[in-house]
A and B are shown apart, each in its own frame.
Chain A
Amino acid sequence: MAADQPFAIAIEHMGFRYPDNAAVSFADLNLKVEKGIRFGLFGPNGAGKTTLMNLMTGVLSVNEGSIKLLGKETGKQNKEVNTLFGFVPQDFSFYQELSPAENLEFFGAWAGLTQTEITNRTDELLHILGLEDVRNKPVEKFSGGMKRRVNLAIGVIHNPQVLFLDEPTVGVDVQTRQAIINYLLKLNESGTTLIYTSHQLNEAEDLCEQIAMIDEGKIITQGHIDDVLKAHNHDSLENLFINLTGKAYRN
C-alpha cells in the first residue's frame, strides 16, 4: 500500500493551535512532498518549522484537516505509521550515559527490530558513520560532531522510508557536516525520502531538490529549488529568504 503512494507526506487543510494560543499556529495548510525526493523546509526562528515536523511525525496531533505519511494518517502512537519513518531531532535525542551500541540496541528494539537486525544494523551504521572505535564508550564524553552522528544513526536504525531531519548538522565542523550530507545523499539514492530543516541555506542548496519556506504558520513559497529561485528572481536561497521574510529580528 505504502509503495503505491506518490506522496511521502500529504498535508491537507491542516489546522493546529497550541492550547495556550501563545505559540505559532497553522490554518488551512496544504503541502505535498513527493516520495523519494530531498525536501527542505525553511523559515526564520519561530516560523513553525519544528511544530510542523512534530505534527508530521505524530508527536503533536492536528486540530483540523489531515496529515498522511505514505497514504496513512499520522497521529499519536500510530504504530503502523511510526515504523515507516525515522526522526532525527535537533536536540541530542538519546541516552548520554549509554554507548552508541547500547543506544542503537534500545532504539532499534523500540523501532521494532529483532536482535539480529539490531546487531547487523549497528555494525553497519557505526562503520559508515565512523563510530566503530567508540562503539562501547559513553556518548556523554563525545564531541558535538560525534554526538550528531550518533543522533543520525539512531534515526535510521530501522531503515525508514521517510526520514525527518531537524537541523542535523547544527554545531558541527566541516568534516562532520560533509560526512553527514554524503550519507544522507546515499540514503536518498537508496529510496529514502528526506524531509529536512536547517538555517544553513548553502548546505540546503547542496542537499535539497524541492523546498518550502514558511513564516508565521503559512507557506510563502514552495517548489523545485531552481524554479523557486527563478520565479523570485534570485540566485541564492539566502537572498530569497531575506527577501521573503525580511531583515527584522525573529524570536
Chain B
Amino acid sequence: MFKLWISIKKDVRILLRDKVGISLMFVMPIILVVVVTSIQNSTFQLVNKNKLPIVICNTDTGKASTQFIESVGKIGLFTVTQIPKEKAKTITDEMHGKDALLGIVIPSNFSSEVDKKAKSASDKAMVAFSGQADSIKTIAKSTKTNEIDPLTLYYNPVLQESLRFSIQGAIGSCLQLVQTRETLRTLYYASNEKELPKSLEDEMLNSNTTINMLPVSKDGTRTTPNASQHNVPSWTIFAMFFVIMSLGGSVVREKVSGSFIRLKTLPTNYLVGLLSKQITYLAVTLLQAAVIFSMGMLLFPYLGLPALNLPSDLFALFLVTLVCGWCAVSYSICVGVFSETQEQSNGFGAVSIVILACVGGLMVPSFAMQGLAKTMANFSPMHWVLQAYYTLFLEGGKLKDVLNNIGSLFIITVVIQFITYLGLKRKNLI
C-alpha cells in the first residue's frame, strides 16, 4: 500500500506540473461543452422558440392567396415578409438579402383555381346529396384535370431534412385549410344561397382536439429537455475519454525514458505503477465530470444557456461516471502500452476517441443509425455511457434503469484491461 500511495503522489505531482496536459483535460473540454451547447441551444430555440424567417411573393390578386398568407402567419412557426410580385424571379436574392431560410412564390392563378376546385367539389357534393349517381360520374370526368398550379417553396440547404419535411407539412396544412374553407363556403352558398356564417365556418374548420405534448420520463416528471440536458452529459463523456492525451503519453514517456529501465531493476512490479496511474487519472475523470456538471448548473444561466438539472438518482449518476472514467483510463493505458512513441499515442488516441464518439452516438444519435453502424455502436463504450446518461438526465431514470448499461460498460472495460495485460506481457514490461 505504501508503494502504491507514493506512486500516486508521484503521478499527481507530475500531473499538476503538466500545464498543457491539465489544459487539455479541463479547459478544452469546458470550451467544447460551452460552444457545442450554445450552438445546439440556438438550434433548439430555432425549432422550439424562434420563428423561421420566410419570404412570400404573391403573384395572385385573389382572396385565397391572402387567406393562405394569413394562415402561414398564424401557424407560429414563421416570420412572414411579403415582397412585390415583380420580384418573383429573384426571390432567391431576396431570401439572401432578408436572411430568410424559406421563400414561397404563389402562382397568379392560385385563387381562381382554388375557386374552381371548390366549385367542382361543391357540385359533386350537391349531386351526391341528391342521390344522382350518373351525374356524379359525369362531373368527376369533367373536373379530373382541374388541378391548381404547384406552389413553389424555396429553402436554404442548411435546413435539415426533418425540419424541411415539418415545414412542408405545415404549409400543406395551410393550403388544405384555404381549400376546405372555400369549398365549404361554395357548398353552403349553393344550398342556402347566402354566405356561410363566420361562427359556423370557424366551428367547422377548427379542430377542437388539442395535442398535449409531454416528454416521456421514467419518474413521471414533465421537465422539457433542453440543449444543456442533451449536450453536457454527452460531451462530458468525450472530455473524460480525452484523458488519453495526457495519460497515454505519460505511459509511453515512462516506457521509453530511462526511468523505466530503473523501475524494472527494482523489487516492485510495474503493475503497481499502472494501478497508481489508474487511480490518479480516474480521480481526474471524476473531477472533470464534476467541473463540467457544476459549470452546466451554475455558469450556464449566466451565459444565456439553460441550466443543467442533475438527475434525481445521484448515486446512479456517480456510478455511471465512475465506470465511464475507469473505462476511459483503461483505454488510455492500453493505447499507451501498445504505442511506441508519444506521437503514435496522441495521434491514434485522438482519432480513435473521435471514431468511438461517432460510433457511440455522440455526434449522430444511435437511434438514427442503421444496420452495421447500429451494431458497431454496441462496441463503443461511449454508447453505453450515453444511453445511461440520457436515461438519467432526460428520462428521470434510476439505478435499476441503467444497470444494463453499466454492466456492458464494465465488460468492455475488463476486456480492455485484459488486452493491456497481454500487451504488457508480450512487450516484457511485467
- Which residues of A pack against B, CB within 8 Å? 54, 57-59, 76-77, 79-80, 82-83, 85, 87, 89-95, 97-98, 102, 105-107, 109-112, 114-115, 138, 154-155
24 contacts between A and B (CB under 8 A): A54-B261, A77-B264, A80-B267, A82-B265, A82-B266, A83-B267, A87-B265, A89-B258, A93-B257, A93-B261, A95-B14, A97-B14, A97-B18, A102-B13, A105-B9, A106-B10, A107-B262, A109-B2, A110-B6, A110-B263, A110-B268, A112-B268, A114-B2, A138-B17
Chain A residues positioned under 8 Å from B9 (CB to CB): 105-106
| Dominant SS among interface residues on chain B | helix
Chain A residues positioned under 8 Å from B6 (CB to CB): 105-106, 109-110
Other A-B pairs beyond A91-B257, A106-B6, 13, CB < 8 Å: A57-B265, A76-B428, A87-B261, A87-B262, A87-B265, A91-B261, A93-B262, A107-B262, A109-B2, A109-B3, A109-B7, A110-B266, A114-B2
Pick from B10, B17, B265: contact of A85, CB below 8 A. B265
* B379 vs chain A, min Cβ distance (A): 33
Report how far A109 CA is from B11 CA in the complex, Å. Answer: 14
Chain B residues positioned under 8 Å from A106 (CB to CB): 6-7, 9-10
Report how far A193 CA is from B17 CA in the complex, Å. Answer: 38
Is B269 part of the contact surface with A, judged by Cβ < 8 Å? Answer: yes
| Dominant SS among interface residues on chain A | loop
Smallest CB-CB separation from A57: which chain B residue?
Answer: B265
Contact of B266 with A107 in the complex, beta carbons under 8 Å: yes
Q: How many residues of B contact A (CB 8 A)?
A: 25
Report how far A102 CA is from B14 CA in the complex, Å. Answer: 10
Is B90 part of the contact surface with A, judged by Cβ < 8 Å? Answer: no
The proximity string for B residues 360-376 relative to A, scoring 1 for CB distances below 8 Å and 0 otherwise, is 00000000000000000
Pick from A79, A94, A105: contact of B262, CB below 8 A. A94
* B180 vs chain A, min Cβ distance (A): 77
Pick from A92, A111, A115: contact of B258, CB below 8 A. A92
Contact of A77 with B430 in the complex, beta carbons under 8 Å: yes
Is B259 part of the contact surface with A, judged by Cβ < 8 Å? Answer: yes
Chain B residues positioned under 8 Å from A111 (CB to CB): 266-268
Report how far A192 CA is from B252 CA in the complex, Å. Answer: 34
Contact of B18 with A58 in the complex, beta carbons under 8 Å: no
Smallest CB-CB separation from B260: which chain A residue?
Answer: A93
Report how far A87 CA is from B260 CA in the complex, Å. Answer: 12
Identify the interface centre among B3, B10, B18, B272: most chain A CB within 10 Å of its CB: B10
Chain A residues positioned under 8 Å from B267 (CB to CB): 79-80, 82-83, 110-112
Report how far A45 CA is from B258 CA in the complex, Å. Answer: 19
Pick from B3, B7, B17, B430: contact of A97, CB below 8 A. B17
* A235 vs chain B, min Cβ distance (A): 36
Chain A residues positioned under 8 Å from B269 (CB to CB): 77
* A213 vs chain B, min Cβ distance (A): 24
* A164 vs chain B, min Cβ distance (A): 8
Report how far A83 CA is from B268 CA in the complex, Å. Answer: 10
Contact of A93 with B2 in the complex, beta carbons under 8 Å: no
The proximity string for B residues 309-349 relative to A, scoring 1 for CB distances below 8 Å and 0 otherwise, is 00000000000000000000000000000000000000000
* B279 vs chain A, min Cβ distance (A): 15
